[in-house]
Chains A and B, each alone.
Chain A
Amino acid sequence: MKPTGQVWQRRPDPRLPAYLVAGFGALVMAIVTGERQIAALGAPFLALAAMGLARREPASLRGRVTLDQTSVVEGDVLEGTISVDWDGKAEVEVILSGWRGVTPVDPLPVIGWAVPLGEGPVTLPFRLQAESWGVHSLGAVWARARRPGSFAVREQKVATAPTLRVFPKTARINRLLKPDEPRTVAGMHLARLRGHGTDFAELRPYQPGDRLRDLSWSTSARLGKPWVRVNHPERTGTVLILLDAVFSEETRSKEALARAARAAWAVASVHLKAQDRVGLLARGRTAGWLPPRGGPRARWLLMEELLGVGRAAEDPLGRRHFRRRVFVPADALIVGVTSLRSQVFAPDLLHFRRVGHTTVALVVDTSDLLPEGGTELDSAARRIWVAQRDAEQRALERGGVPTALVTGEGGATQAVLTLKRRLDASQNRSWRWVHAGGVPAQEARA
């Protein structure tokens, strides 16, 4: 809510030029032709023009916008009020324009009012529905004031609306993807190493130095000598979410981006809860980069970055492009979240795989967003689009990037579960292969 300066402009009523031209034109014609009666035709129009201009002193306008909340979730309805004040009596039209990412609920079809002749102030309530995620400007309040009977209209921006933060609706996920090499910080992932933790690994005879609390009393009693439980230590991992931010100005394309963002947020949230370090790299028509980090602050930073991508989808001025160097930690699990609507994202993912990162892809299904059409041409176009997406998906699979489709029914949970199984199987295979060859894991990795 920012009061603006007194920058305003005056707009003439369409009658003013008509009456002036008619009045003065008639007088000129009367002089030219020498016919006095012609002057009589101009007199009423000059009189009316003088009437309209007599009260041309414009009303001074002031205003402000108040929202009941500035952070909402997609689909929420928020309420607000616009207060406009002016001096003296005037007819005032008020409109909230330039908003992005929201749709008006009340009044419809635009947030605008025509206040009948009277004195200010007036308070005008409105309701908006948050439509798309991101940080959105709600535009500005413009008011147009006219003194009764005046031909001059004062138009002015009276207030700038606050910025609205719309958070994406997130799907709940209860499965974690397994990062490549968990770090030695307490977390949720099971490491291949053994140590202190809660997940059982094996039993072995007691050795000097073992903690007494690790003694397995039942096994020791059964075998007659002390045995200890050995557990897997719990570690944190690094997850880098690679978001496909390629979109067009079309609504369907933005919805596809929103779905990808929801899936990305769902994956990020669950990994942050599990003490993982999560980063975000958005590439496409806008860019975003947040190095992997953990903790509650990371959650907010990640959300900020995602909201920045959402804002860019609605507001061309909010788009960012940078070519700075992105440092991806060697142990990071790359999770690509894409709708595969562009053909530039898959090569990016394959690049990460080729340089040695464990890479997976969540392919967000957007086939339901394709335009419906009854003609054969439409259905052929639809089939071609799906075939192209499948080809991209197969190319990723061939390149060693497991993929899973995030559908409307299964949601992100099902897709993450699929990826987790495939990653586990893949990691177990490589583990067995390393042990069969007698090569220590670290060397094999090197």
Chain B
Amino acid sequence: MSLQVSQRTRRLGQRGLAGLAVLSAACTGAMMGSLGGPGFLQLGAVSYLLVTGVALITPAAITVQVVWALALIGRFLLGPIGATPLLLLPSVAGIIFTAELLAIVARMDTPFHNDPRDDLPRAVVSAGIGGAAFGVVFLLSGLRGPTGLIAVLLASFACILLAVLLVKDWSPLEGGEDG
């Protein structure tokens, strides 16, 4: 088991992941921007990219980055635009994928090598789960009356429960490289 790679390789890997995070944030911001809306929302979508840049330097800013993106999407939902789930779903998945990548970059910020190969599939799976959960709850929220409200609550709880059961019974990293 080789645990060491050169510093150059490690830096290249970290920079590559940082670049991927910025790309993901740019795509997510573009998707949010394509939803239309007033100018300040477009500006907000651009500033999401800037907040991602800050989060690359300070991992504590990941919270700001995620909340900022959600606030933008929430504004789209509340507004008169009538955004379709088809556009919102990749945006939510993109927010999660970007946050996961930022966390990996933060983990790699150690003086010794950190192999991101285990984390990358996990980020993809997390984005998939998040997107699916959003899609299901969003569809159920369309039901009218108290039924819709109960359906949203139940769906949210089901998503959380399902996620926990998923982790307990199966890990996307099962059978990974043995220590």
Contacts and interface: CB of A to CB of B under 8 A. Distances in A.
Interface of A: 13-15, 17-19, 21-22, 25-27, 29-30, 33, 35-48, 50-51, 54-55, 89, 91-93, 95, 107-110, 112-120, 122, 124, 148-149
Interface stretch (B17-25, B33-41, B42-50, B66-74): B66-74
5 contacts: A19-B66, A43-B159, A44-B159, A50-B160, A148-B173
A46 B173 CA distance: 21
Contacts, number: 185
Given A25-B67, A48-B129, A54-B164, A36 B141 contact: yes
A22 B70 contact: yes
B159 A14 contact: no
A113 B112 contact: yes
Interface residues of B, number: 67
Contact of B130 (A29, A30, A44, A148): A44
Interface in B65-124: 65-67, 70, 73-74, 77-78, 92, 96, 99-100, 102-103, 106, 110-115, 117-118, 122
A92 B137 contact: no
B134 A44 contact: yes
A39 B92 CA distance: 13
Contacts of A36: 141, 148-149, 152
A13 B103 contact: yes
B155 to A, nearest CB: 7
B112 A107 contact: yes
Contacts of B4: 107, 113
A148 B171 contact: yes
A14 B62 contact: yes
Secondary structure dominating the interface of B: helix
B162 interface: yes
B138 A45 contact: no
A35 B78 contact: yes
B114 A18 contact: no
B179 A120 contact: yes
Contacts of B63: 14, 17-18, 21-22
Nearest to B162: A47
A92 B112 CA distance: 12
Contacts of A40: 134, 137-138, 140-141, 152
A47 B62 contact: no
B96 A37 contact: no
Contacts of B122: 148-149
A91 B118 contact: yes
A91 B104 CA distance: 13
Contacts of A108: 7
A54 B62 CA distance: 21
A35 B138 CA distance: 11
Contact of A116 (B1, B140, B142, B162): B1
A47 B179 contact: no
Nearest to A14: B59
A22 B67 contact: yes
B156 A124 contact: no
A246 B125 CA distance: 61
Contact of B66 (A37, A45, A117, A149): A45
Contacts of B103: 13-15
A289 B66 CA distance: 63
B154 to A, nearest CB: 11
Residue among B106, B117, B155, B159 having the largest count of chain A Cβ atoms under 10 Å: B159
A44 B179 contact: no
Contact of A117 (B65, B111, B149, B177): B177
A15 B176 contact: no
Contacts of B57: none
Residue among B4, B7, B131, B168 having the largest count of chain A Cβ atoms under 10 Å: B4
A15 B133 contact: no
Contact of B131 (A44, A54, A91): A44
